[in-house]
Amino acid sequence: MNAPAPSPLNALADLARRDLPDVLADLRRLVELETPSNDKELLDLGLDGIETWLGERLGVPATRVRHDGGAFGDVLDVAYPGTMAREVVLLCHYDTVWPRGTLAWWPVTVDGERFSGPGCFDMKAGIVQGVWALRALRELDLPRPTVRLLLTGDEEIGSPASRPHIERAGTGAAATLVLEPSRDGAAKDRRKGMGLFDVTVHGVEAHAGLDPEAGASAIHALALLVPEITALAAPERGTTVNVGVIAGGTGRNVVAGRATCEVDVRVQDPAEMPRVDAGLAALVAADPRVKIEITGGWNRPPMNPGPASRELLGLAREVAEGLGSSLDAVAVGGASDANFLSALGLPVLDGLGAVGAGPHSRDEHVRIDGTPHQVALVAGLMERIARG
CA 14 vs. chain centroid, Å, equals 29
Q: Tell me how far apart the alpha carbons of residues 245 and 264 are, in angstroms, rounded to a whole number.
A: 10
Query: Which alpha helices (DSSP H) does the chain contain, by range?
Result: 8-18, 20-31, 40-58, 102-105, 125-139, 163-171, 218-230, 272-281, 307-322, 338-343, 371-387
Q: Tell me how far apart the alpha carbons of residues 269 and 227 are, in angstroms, rounded to a whole number.
A: 22
* Greatest C-alpha distance within the chain: 102
Residue 7: its pLDDT value, please?
78
Half-sphere exposure of residue 250: CA atoms within 13 angstroms, side-chain side:
11
> Which DSSP category does 258 fall into?
E
User: In 222-236, which positions are buried (b, 16+ CB within 10 angstroms) versus exposed (e)?
Assistant: beebeeebeebbeee
Residue 6: its pLDDT value, please?
52
110: three-class secondary structure by DSSP:
strand
Q: What are the DSSP calls for 138-184, one per residue? A: HHTT----EEEEEEEE-GGGT-TTTHHHHHHHHHTSSEEEE-PPPBT
User: Are residues 201 and 292 in contact, defined by beta-carbon separation less than 8 angstroms?
Assistant: yes
Catalytic site positions = 95, 155
List of domains in the chain = 8-191+303-387 (3.40.630.10), 193-300 (3.30.70.360)
> Mean pLDDT for each 10-residue chunk of the chain (388 residues)?
63 98 98 98 98 98 98 98 97 98 98 98 98 98 98 97 98 97 97 97 98 97 98 97 98 98 97 98 97 97 96 98 97 95 97 97 98 98 96
Residue 167: its pLDDT value, please?
98
DSSP lists the bridge partners of residue 300 as 194
The model carries a pTM of 0.93
